[in-house]
Each structure stands twice: as C-alpha cells, then as structure tokens.
Structure 1
Amino acid sequence: MSQPYVPAQTPPTGQPSGLKDLFNGVGYLLRGIAWMMRHPAQWLFGLIPALIVLAGYVTGLVFLAFQIDDLAGWVTWFADDWSGTARTWARAVAGTAIYGASLFLAVLTFTAVTLLVGDPFYEAIAVRVEESQGGAPPEPDVPLLVQIGRAIKDAVLLGVIAVTFAVVFFLCGFLPVIGQTVVPLVAAVVSGYFLAGELTSVALERRGIRRTERFARLKANRPLAIGFGAATFLVFLIPLGAVLAMPGAVAGGTLLARERLAGPPQAREALVTPGDGGSAWND
C-alpha cells in the first residue's frame, strides 16, 4: 500500500559552495544506486527497457567500428597526397574523433531514448522512490497522447543538441593535445549537464515542471547537476554500465529532483546535503 503524499519541510537557507555541490551531485547517484541495491526487484524491472535500447546502440557502434577506416579516409581527403606517416597520423586522429563523437552522442541520447521507450517502467520506479521518501505527488491530469508527444519532442530536441555538440567536439578533436585532453573533459561536463536534465525529468514532469523550467532550475544548481550527471556519464562509459546503472540513475535523479529542484523558485539555492535522509523541499 502506497504512503500518502506528504510535502517536505522547507529547507534551511544558505548557499552551498560550488565544490561541495559538485560532490553532493555525485552523492545523489550513489544514493540512487544504493536504493536499487535495497530493492533488487525494481532494479531488474528497470533493466528491461535499457537492454532493449542497448541492443540497438551496440549494433550501430559495432557497425561504425568496422567502417571507421573508410570514414576517416573520407573526412581527411585533403591528406591523400601527404607522406605516409602524416597521412596515417591524420586518419588516426580523424578515426578517434569520429568514434569519440559517436560515443558521446550515444551516451547522451541513450538516456533520452531509454526513458522514452521505458517511460512506464521508470515512472513506476520514480513513484516507488518517492513513496519511500514520504509519498509521491499525484499523477498530472494530462492525456497520455500529450505526454507521449512531449516526450518525443524533448527527445528530438536533445538529439539535435547532442548532434551539434558532437560535431563541435569532433572538430576540436583535431587540435593537438587539447583535442585528446581538454575536449573529453568538456564533453563529460556537457553530457553530464544534459543527462541530469533527462534523469530528473520523470519526477519534475510529474510536478508539472516542463523542459524550459527544468533546465532553468538546473542552471540555478549547475555544480550539483554537473556532479550528478558527469558521474553518471562516466559510469555509462563502462561496458554495460549504462544498462546496469540506468535504474539507479533514475532513482538518483528522482531524489535530486525531489530534494533540490522541485521547490519554489525563490528557495532553489537552499542547502541540502545528500544522505541526510528524506526530502528537503516542499513538493
């Protein structure tokens, strides 16, 4: 039997440091994974849509790996007349940049596609997480077709943004040293920010908070969002990490949304430390 929805108490005011919020964001991912460890049936339930989407993504990435030499040669047509060493170096950098950009695109869109495919699964998980923290808000009175349409629109928009960033990172990957050091770090930060937006969407949409307002709230808590999202991005890079950690990431995003993003706008900057237990925002 589900618990009644009980709004949380208003959190104490105060501005946490950016560094502390960065680690607090990582803490939300750990809390989400810990919640799943205590509820293994929910974890298995959440694996179903992730496995379905993974099969499609792996097929695409494997196919790309077999075609990478031809693609690298195509984008470095200007190096056809170069010496052997220079041409090989240029195509190796191009191949790395192409595959790196594709991996970035895959990780960023994997969450959106998985949430779209598995919406009923992750909606149920989010409700269970909220019930364990004091109660879930009532389901919004929005027709199912409207909800599906919004989800598709958000996924398409994220895909366009992801492609844009992937092209930028691909081109920056040709820069000596910077392309192999700074660019991957920036990619992780950017991916993390957008992943945080996707993983908190289930809980925030339930509260009637749409995409524009969602990202406005993430912007007001940028270090927190980046800490949570970048940690998720790194876990997703581990083989099978995206599948195994996806339910925990949804749980962590739900806790993050409930405790730090779902309160009144004027209270967004209030201090909440993950691990204190329960909710800390008015829902």
Structure 2
Amino acid sequence: MRDLGVGFRHLLEGQRWMARHGRQYGFGLLPGLITLVLYAAALIALALWGEDAVTWATPFADHWSSPWQGLFRGFLTAVLFALGLLLAVLTFTALTLLVGQPFYENLSEQVDADVSPDGTAPRSQLPLWRELWISARDSLRVLVRAALWGVLLFALGFLPLVGQTVVPVIGFFVTGFFLTEELAAVALQRRGVELRARLALLRSRKTLVWGFGAPLGLAFLVPFVAVFLMPGAVAGATLLTRELLGEERADDRESDVARTASQSRTAPQ
C-alpha cells in the first residue's frame, strides 16, 4: 500500500514541477493539442459513418425482420465506437510522445538535472531519427499487448456480475500500467533500457506503477484533461523512473542531512 501512495506522490510532484516552469509547460501543450485534433476528427468520423460501416460489414442481416436488424446493427455500432474510444485512450499517450519526442526528452532531462545531487542528467547518444524509430517500434509493441488485454477484458465484460464489477477494475489497472510504461519510456530510453527490461522493471513494483498510472488513466478519460496533464505526467514519470532505479535525489540527501542534524541535537550529551 505504501508504494501506491509513493506512485501517486510522483504524479503530483510532476504536475507541481511543471507549474514552476511555465515556459516549458506552454511548449508541452502543443503535441497534445495536435494529437487531440487528430483523434477528435477520427472519432467524429466514426460517429458519423460507423453505422454505414457496420451495415456494409453485415450484409447477411439485410433481410432480418424488425426490430432485430436495428438492434443488432445498433449494438455493433456502439461496440465499434467504444473500441475506437478505448483505442484512442490507449494510444493517445504514445502518439503525443512521438509527436513531441524532442521536447519531452529535453523536459525529462531538465527534471533529472533539477533533482540530481550533482545537477547532471543521463543523455542518449543516439541520433534523433534512431530515437524516433525505437520509440515508434516500442510503442507499437506495447499497443499490441494492450490491445490483447483490451480484447480479453471486453470478452469477459459479458460475464454476469463479474463483467460489470471486477472486469472494469482490472481494466483500470491495466490501462494505468501501460500508460506508465509509455511515459516512463522517455527517461528509461535515455538510459539505454530496452523494452523487455522496462516491462520487467515495472512489473517488479506494480503497486508503485499503479499508484502513478491508474489515477492518471482515470483523469485521461475526461475530455481535454490529457492535453493539460501530459507535460506534468512526463515530469512525474521521470521522478518515478529514478525511484524504480534507486537513483538518489538532491532532496533525499537534504532530508538525510536534516534528519542527522536533528538527531544530533536531540541526542543526550
């Protein structure tokens, strides 16, 4: 339970860090706004022509009697839109990070340098095109994993009682895990940590990851919120990365010094 609180604290710390750095925050909104416009256009198109697509895909239902034809195709249209919305939530972070890769990597470096005891940050030695390729490739691999979970949870959702209670909770934590992986990948990729090692690292402290990603995933379901939280989420994921790797922070050292001084003052003479 402690790790849940620590993960949530990193999420809040990231937002506070961005609040203290207004200029970086303004630039950080641009990739999210671009991605939001693209997804909004896709979802509007799906809402307008989704029924036509379902009708085209189900010619066998053309001769069904009313109301079964309408109910069947209406249900499939709703499912299609729900899957499109789920896919948008799962891929929004990956696409935004890809669009804003240079900015977010620079932002993550600034956070690292700000909290590091020696004021330095790990830097990638790869050219930008190579980083973009690795990021896109790894995001696709993560998306496939998330999609498999999504299909499984969607199927389990039809189970009586369990599908309406347990399955949504599991989906909540699954979304939080993959969302955290995408965000932490910015800092971990700079450190040369490959995808398989990243996933193993995150699984080793799942409650810490859930504490960070689950509340963020819930917030991302609210329209437009993801755009405004995205820069702070990258900053918070950088702090989370340092926690996962056991890297020391300047404020940790200051706390140790203050604690030692306090103990020396209260010690009996």
TM-score by length of 1: 0.77
- After TM superposition, the structure 1 = structure 2 runs for residues 106-121 of structure 1, keeping only pairs within 5 Å, are 106-121=88-103
Partner of 2:246: 263
Work out the CA distance in 1 between the residues paired with 2:187 and 2:93: 15
Q: Which of 143, 147, 150 is residue 166 of structure 1 equivalent to? A: 150
Q: Which of 121, 130, 139 is residue 123 of structure 2 equivalent to? A: 139
Asked if structure 1 preserves the Cα contact closer than 8 Å seen for 2:109 and 2:122, the reply is no
Work out the CA distance in 1 between the residues paired with 2:85 and 2:102: 27
- After TM superposition, the structure 1 = structure 2 runs for residues 86-105 of structure 1, keeping only pairs within 5 Å, are 93-105=75-87
Quick one: which amino acid aligns to residue 52 of structure 1? I
Structure 2 unaligned runs (5+)? 255-269
**Cα distance change on mapping 1:129 and 1:49 into 2, 3 Å:** same
Work out the CA distance in 2 between the residues paired with 1:279 and 1:246: 29
Does 2:229 align with 1:245?
Answer: yes
Work out the CA distance in 1 between the residues paired with 2:4 and 2:246: 20
1:177, CA displacement in angstroms? 4.6
CA deviations on 1:164-190 (whole Å, 9 max, x unpaired) are: 333333333444454444333222211
Partner of 1:130: 112
Work out the CA distance in 1 between the residues paired with 2:120 and 2:215: 26
Once the two structures are aligned, what percentage of the paired residues are identical? 41
Does 2:7 align with 1:28?
Answer: no
Asked if structure 2 preserves the Cα contact closer than 8 Å seen for 1:32 and 1:250, the reply is yes
- After TM superposition, the structure 1 = structure 2 runs for residues 5-24 of structure 1, keeping only pairs within 5 Å, are 19-24=1-6
Does 2:141 align with 1:157?
Answer: yes
The answer to which of 73-82 and 221-230 deviates more is 73-82
Partner of 2:264: none
Quick one: which amino acid aligns to residue 62 of structure 1? I
Q: Which of 225, 229, 232 is residue 213 of structure 2 equivalent to? A: 229
SS of residue paired to 1:58: helix
Work out the CA distance in 2 between the residues paired with 1:79 and 1:21: 55
Quick one: which amino acid aligns to residue 123 of structure 2? E
CA deviations on 1:224-255 (whole Å, 9 max, x unpaired) are: 11121111111111110111110011011011
Work out the CA distance in 2 between the residues paired with 1:121 and 1:170: 35
RMSD of the TM alignment (CA)? 3.0
Work out the CA distance in 1 between the residues paired with 2:78 and 2:162: 14
**Cα distance change on mapping 1:87 and 1:165 into 2, 3 Å:** farther
Work out the CA distance in 2 between the residues paired with 1:230 and 1:28: 13
Asked if structure 1 preserves the Cα contact closer than 8 Å seen for 2:98 and 2:135, the reply is yes
CA deviations on 1:177-214 (whole Å, 9 max, x unpaired) are: 54444333222211110111111111111222121111
The answer to which of 68-77 and 236-245 deviates more is 68-77
| Structure with more of its chain in helix, by fraction | 2
Partner of 1:58: 40
Report the structure number with the largest CA radius of gyration. Answer: 2
Work out the CA distance in 2 between the residues paired with 1:88 and 1:26: 45
Does 2:12 align with 1:47?
Answer: no
Work out the CA distance in 1 between the residues paired with 2:44 and 2:104: 28
The answer to which of 188-197 and 169-178 deviates more is 169-178
Work out the CA distance in 1 between the residues paired with 2:101 and 2:204: 27
**Cα distance change on mapping 1:182 and 1:95 into 2, 3 Å:** farther
TM-score by length of 2: 0.81
Work out the CA distance in 1 between the residues paired with 2:239 and 2:24: 16
Aligned length: 251
CA deviations on 1:127-169 (whole Å, 9 max, x unpaired) are: 1212221234241322333222211211221232233333333
SS of residue paired to 1:200: helix
Structure 1 unaligned runs (5+)? 1-18, 265-271
Q: Which of 195, 201, 208 is residue 192 of structure 2 equivalent to? A: 208
Work out the CA distance in 1 between the residues paired with 2:65 and 2:154: 22
SS of residue paired to 1:165: helix
Asked if structure 2 preserves the Cα contact closer than 8 Å seen for 1:26 and 1:228, the reply is yes
SS of residue paired to 2:123: coil
